[in-house]
Structure 1
Amino acid sequence: MSHDQRESVCHKLSRELRHFKWREIFTWKLLKTLAMGQGLSALICGTAVTSQYLATEFHLDVPMLQSCINYTLLCLTYTTALCFRKGNKNILQILKTKWWKYVLLGLADVEANYAVVKAYQYTTLTSIQLLDCFILPVLLVLSRVFLKSRYRIIHYVAVCVCLAGVGAMVGADLVSGRDQGSSSNILLGDGLVIISATLYAVSNLCQEYIVKNESRVEFLGMVGFFGTLISGIQLGILEHVQVANIQWTWQIALLLCGFAVCMYTLYSCMPVVISMSSATAVNLSLLTADLFSLFCGLFLFQYTFSGLYVVSLMVIMVGFIMFNAVPTPNQTPEPVCEDGGHDNQAAEIDDERQVGSEVENQEKGQTDSSGKSLPAENGHGCVLSSVKL
């Protein structure tokens, strides 16, 4: 990067900082998003702890069985809810028009879960923690291309700050000697982590679009339906021997139930948080999940504590707040008809400005023959409005 380019970047960053309304950063919405994001991290911690107990204490390694239980619960609740809907929101109408899209979405979600669990057999925990962050640049690119999200310099800086926090966490793992996992085939394991991160990014991007434009129930119902089919088939092919050989005890049943409850709650609540912010912001918040697991491991698995863990947590929190302090509106926000549809929540401010400008122009010169102001309309005849999701 040349000297002029560096000065241009520094100038843009300083301009962003000067335009910050620092007193308005810590709004109720930001604090609520932060708290809910950390709640999601706690749920991921619950799935990690229960899975580790199953693997270490009972030597049970059945990731597809665990995923299948989660998708089945989603199917029983949200897919059933879709069956009782009427009109175009009914499951039959959705399957007629968009079944192949949800097949691909379900496949991406199932294989993302399976690939990251499988990676632990081939590579180390340090590699997984680092490469799993690949989801962030992929999400930034996909959101910019498909959702037309308009990121600013401060957003990229915030992502880098969060990644620095992950680096501090990995450094603490190395200092405390917690480099667990295998190194039998590091190249294959790292490749599986990258594939998993990419598939997670695709799934989260689709989730953000569906939640903000269709409904949370439709996303969860379709993922539950096709996820159950795909994971059930994969379970029968890959893990039928392991499942048949399980020596069932109440401890195993309780741990599987705990995992299922945490995962089901995670899937049910994550669309709510995404609708309040974005898929990228939620994944930044989820970077603390590994830290929560580490703090639990201090008491449950006798992990060694390091002060870098606290530093990592604080750095990730700072990056998350920086990212959410500045909105990321769509580049070309689409207006919404009053009788249906949803606008992107991040474009709400731009919509309000556009509506205000339209109304002001009409008050100045655009009137009908009776002297009444005409409503501002877009090319499709829909009244421009700001819709809160």
Structure 2
Amino acid sequence: MAQNAHEEVYGNKGDDIGPTESTHVQPKGVSASAVSSENERGLGQAEPASNVDGVNPVLEDEAQSKGKWFQYVRTKQFWVVMLLGQVLAICITSTNTLSSLLAMEGTSIPAFQSFFNYVLLNLIYTSYTIYKYGFKKWGRLILKDGWRFFILAFFDVEGNYFVVLAYRYTTILSAQLINFWAIVVVVLVSFLFLRVRYHYTQYAGILLCVGGMGVLFGSDHLTGSNAFPAANEVKGDLFALLGATFYGLSNAFEEFLVSERPLYEVVGQLAFWALFINGTQAGIFDRAQFRAAVWSPKVGGYLTGYTLILTLFYSLAPVVFRLSSAAFFNISLLTGSFWGVAIGIEVFHLSIHWMYPIAFVLIILGQVLYFARQSMLAEAVKPWLGEGQERGHAGLGTAKRRVERPGVVV
């Protein structure tokens, strides 16, 4: 995505949390003194944050930490990423649980169910984008780059649709176990199209996380302790697999976009186009289910909870994409199966088998191993932004922001 094509639209692109200075991230193999102080959008020249020797401390630490073990694990950013990953896992598990509860109440409206989430996201992020850009620049944004966000929104809507649809036919545990396929999709897309090259420790970390999922899967099927009736488990699992594919495509594309643009713009545009796609799909496919749905205060409560939690999920996910990657985002969600059973103890009267805590620990260890050979900036440095990250956006969670403001955590 060429930088110059966006400058006309985003004359005041700004920062996710306010304007900052802009400095190139140090390319691999280039000394810190070679990093320029050129401003990202031509808003004036600014000197990079530096120590007494005139060297940026973040860039200096980045250069010295490459190729060493557990450098990133020792940073505050690592713990922020791990915490955010678990918050997102609990969020997605909560929405899955609410989808199951709605289906049990006789209300299965997979397209319409996500409609309110997109409405709320538009109220928050599209409104703020219009406030920042004005109607004229916002309109030009839609005309110039709307097609990119349309594709992102299509992937996202279909992912939500098929995953929610899966709960009409299969169990919550079965559908969650299918989600590991999204990791495969993300890794393939990132490797083939985004020029991401994974270290062998990252592959090992992913495999260890998937192994933890295998322990969950094995304990569930060997004991049968958490099994409950499914209308058509095979059909439901196929829908979940298709939804996971769309989720993988959506995650990789969103990571690409949010690294170049402000968070509020990406989320706002995603919600804007998704509103039309989702509304059309609901009108076509959900009419019969909508008429047959059971409407009650309990159903209204479930829909409200689903919407609020999913909106939080959409707000935090881009920060994780910036701090780490779509691949780590997806392996973080694997602990959702553990949280799902933990929630299910009260909601569905499930039981935790002794293998579940072991599986949870394996997944967490896999996530730590994933970062074992990462440098201080880790995956916040995106290969598609150029060696100096010159096409990147200096927003919350980006490498560019941390170079400009060494004192910030994210």
Task: Supply the distance in 2 between the matched residues of 1:46 and 1:127 (Cα, whole angstroms).
Answer: 15
Task: Say whether residues 1:164 and 2:175 are aligned partners.
Answer: no
Asked whether 1:178 is paired with 2:226, we answer: yes
**1:342 and 2:390 matched:** no
Q: Aligned pair 1:41/2:93, yes or no?
A: no
CA distance in structure 1 between the aligned counterparts of 2:198 and 2:112, rounded to whole angstroms? 39
Q: What aligned pairs does 1:250-261 form with structure 2 within 5 A after superposition?
A: 250-261=297-308
Cα deviation digits, residues 234-254 of structure 1 (max 9, x gap)? 111122233344453322222
Larger Cα-atom Rg: 1
Partner of 2:369: 322
**How many Å separate the matches in 2 of 1:342 and 1:231?**
29
Sort the Cα spacing of 1:112 and 1:261 in 2 relative to 1 into closer, same or farther, 3 A: same
Cα pair 1:54 1:60 within 8 Å, conserved: yes
Question: Compared with structure 1, are the counterparts of its residues 259 and 275 closer, same or farther at alpha carbon in structure 2 (3 Å cutoff)?
Answer: same
Tell me if structure 1 keeps the 8 A contact 2:206–2:370: yes
CA distance in 2, matches of 1:33, 1:123: 31
**1:308 equivalent among 350, 355, 370:** 355
Which of 147, 150, 166 pairs up with 1:119? 166
Q: For residues 181 and 104 of structure 1, do their structure 2 counterparts lie closer, same or farther at Cα, with a shift above 3 Å needed?
A: farther
Name the stretch that deviates more: 119-128 or 246-255.
Answer: 119-128
Q: Which residue of 1 aligns with 2:282?
A: 235
Quick one: which of 297, 305, 321 aligns to 2:344?
A: 297
Secondary structure at the aligned position of 1:86 is classed as: helix
Whole-angstrom distance in 1 between the partners of 2:81 and 2:73: 13
Cα distance, 1:60 vs structure 2: 1.4
Displacement of 1:270: 0.9
Question: Matches of 2:342 and 2:233 in 1, distance apart?
Answer: 29
Query: Shift of the alpha carbon at 1:126?
Result: 6.1
- Show the counterpart of 1:221: 268
Distance 1:88 1:80 in 2: 10
Report whether the alignment pairs 1:52 with 2:108: no
Change (3 A) 1:181 1:129: farther
- Higher relative CO (Cα under 8 Å, sequence separation at least 6) belongs to 2
**Identity across the alignment (%):** 28
Is 1:78–2:125 an aligned residue pair? yes
Deviation at 1:22, TM superposition (A): 4.2
Q: CA 1:242–1:195 in 2, change beyond 3 Å: closer, same or farther?
A: closer
User: Structure 1 residues 156 and 103 mapped into 2: Cα distance closer, same or farther (>3 Å)?
Assistant: same
Q: Does 1:276 align with 2:323?
A: yes
Tell which deviates more after alignment, 317-326 or 41-50.
41-50
Equivalent residues of 1:333, 1:347 under 8 A apart: no
The residue identity in structure 2 corresponding to 1:230 is: I
What SS does the aligned partner of 2:202 have? helix
Equivalent residue runs for 1:62-101 within 5 Å: 62-86=109-133, 90-101=137-148
Distance 1:49 1:185 in 2: 17
Number of aligned residues = 336
| Distance in 2 between residues matched to 1:55 and 1:135, nearest whole Å | 24
Judging by fraction of residues, say which structure has more helix.
1
**Is 2:259–2:392's contact at 8 Å kept on the other side of the alignment?**
no
CA distance in structure 2 between the partners assigned to 1:159 and 1:89 by the alignment: 45
Asked if residue 26 in structure 1 is aligned to residue 93 in structure 2, the reply is no
Deviation of 1:255 after TM superposition, in Å, equals 1.5
Asked if 1:149 is matched to 2:149, the reply is no
Supply the AA of the counterpart residue of 2:147: W
SS of match in other structure, 1:248: coil
Q: Is this contact kept in 1: 2:108–2:165, CA < 8 A?
A: no
Query: CA offsets per residue over residues 112-137 of structure 1, 9 Å max, x none?
Result: 11112223445566653443211112
Query: How do 1:371-386 residues align onto structure 2 when only pairs under 5 Å count?
Result: none
CA separation in 1, counterparts of 2:252 and 2:129?
22
Alpha carbons of structure 1 residues 124 and 41: separation in structure 2 relative to 1, 3 Å: closer
Name the CA distance, whole Å, in 1 between partners of 2:117 and 2:147: 22
SS at match of 2:344: helix
CA distance in 1, matches of 2:213, 2:136: 41
Is the 2:263–2:395 contact (alpha carbons within 8 Å) kept by the matching residues of 1? no
Partner Cα separation in structure 2 for residue 183 and residue 87 of structure 1: 50
Post-superposition CA distance 1:69-106 (Å, at most 9, x none): 11111112211222223379932121111122222211
* Code of the aligned partner of 1:177: S
Distance 2:115 2:348 in 1: 27
Alignment partners' CA distance in 2, 1:117 and 1:136: 19
Matched residues in 2 for 1:322 and 1:294: separation? 25
Residues 238 and 333 (structure 1), Cα distance of their counterparts in 2 relative to 1, 3 Å cut = closer
